[in-house]
Amino acid sequence: MPANRPLVIVTRKLPDAIETRMRELFETRLNLDDTPMDQAALIDAVQKADVLVPTVTDRVDSKVLVRAGSNLKLIANFGNGVDHIDVKTALERGITVTNTPGVLTEDTADMTMALILAVPRRLVEGAEELKAERFEGWSPSWMLGHRIWGKRLGIIGMGRIGQAVARRAKAFGLQIHYHNRKPVHPQIERDLSATYWESLDQMLARMDIVSINCPHTPATYHLLSARRLKLMKPTAYIVNTARGEVIDENALARMLEAGALSGAGLDVFEREPAVNPKLMKQKNVVLLPHMGSATIEGRVDMGEKVIVNIKTFADGHKPPDRVIPAML
């Protein structure tokens, strides 16, 4: 890799301030019209670039990576999740992979809490009634939802985002429960008044609201399978701001349609950008277009982390946000 100005190819449009700074520091090729790259375009990029800056919409799989040029030494992902990158193949080919952890935590937790509020209180339904001019004045029995105060929230994945969700939920009077690969530090449990469940099955059967905040890995693909979804109470709600692949979306749609669950709030989908038509028809489902981290501040922070990772690597040092297989 050139010591000072590596060729950096960016796959999507990034904030102006980030693109400007990249052009100041590196030989940078931008995607000004923001058209997602198909496989052929990605292959062309990895054959030319010293550094590739992809996003979640880019499928940087083994078929792309085996065509990479010998000059490609760094994939500096614009985002935290790296399930769209074949990290194992990249490392085998001597390509370092970095991501942008931490900067999305509060934004994603905010969106999770918004969905936890929106679904039981029927906020979107109410807004649609108003827009359709069906509001005829207050009524004691109209648009009734459910309070969340005192309810049990089960968090799947108690990392940075899971803990940030727990902090918000505790302030709203929810009882905090969680399932994780291992318990968090005892002091964190005490601060959050959180109860650890080693068995996901047992936790699901007892929760009023379930929030998915774990990454998508081979181990978490369809973690909420049809069997596990059926363990949940019919009065329960499910919220997902992590990755759509963690839920068996078809099974979820069938259960919502049958009234076997009270509702869902989904910011991510199993086959994005496609959304299951059955989910689109449900009044008790709030659907968002992958907006969990969509704040100006968050996107700029992500870009700044990408720049630090590239600059550190180009200077001959280990970048701070390397993705290690043990982390996945």
Catalytic residue among 21, 122, 216, 243: 243
Phi, psi for residue 322 in degrees, rounded to 5:
-65, 140
Distance separating alpha carbons of residues 77 and 255, to the nearest angstrom: 36
Annotated active-site residue in 177, 179, 216, 290: 290
The bridge status of strand 285-287 relative to strand 194-196 is unpaired
Per residue in 234-273, is it b (16+ CB within 10 Å) or e — as a string?
eebbbbbbbbbbbbbbebbbbbbeeebbbbbbbbbbbeee
Q: Is 243 a catalytic residue?
A: yes
Reduced 3-state DSSP string for 12-42: CCCCHHHHHHHHHHCEEECCCCCCCCCHHHH
Instruction: Name the catalytic one among 167, 272, 304, 322.
Output: 272
Cβ neighbours of residue 140 closer than 8 Å, sequence gap 6 or more: none
CA 123 vs CA 146, 261, 292: distances in Å: 11, 18, 18
Virtual CA dihedral for 18, 22, 24, 29, nearest 10 degrees?
A: -120
- 272 in active site: yes
Please give the single-letter amino acid code of residue 252.
L
Regarding beta strands 237-240 and 209-212, do their DSSP bridges make them parallel or antiparallel, or are they unpaired? parallel
User: DSSP per residue over 123-189, as a string?
Assistant: HHHHHHHHHTT---S--TTSS-----TT-EEEEE--SHHHHHHHHHHHHTTPEEEEE-SS---HHHH
Cα gap 42→64, rounded to integer Å: 7
Report whether 94 contacts 318 (CB < 8 A). Answer: no
Positions annotated as catalytic residues are 243, 272, 290
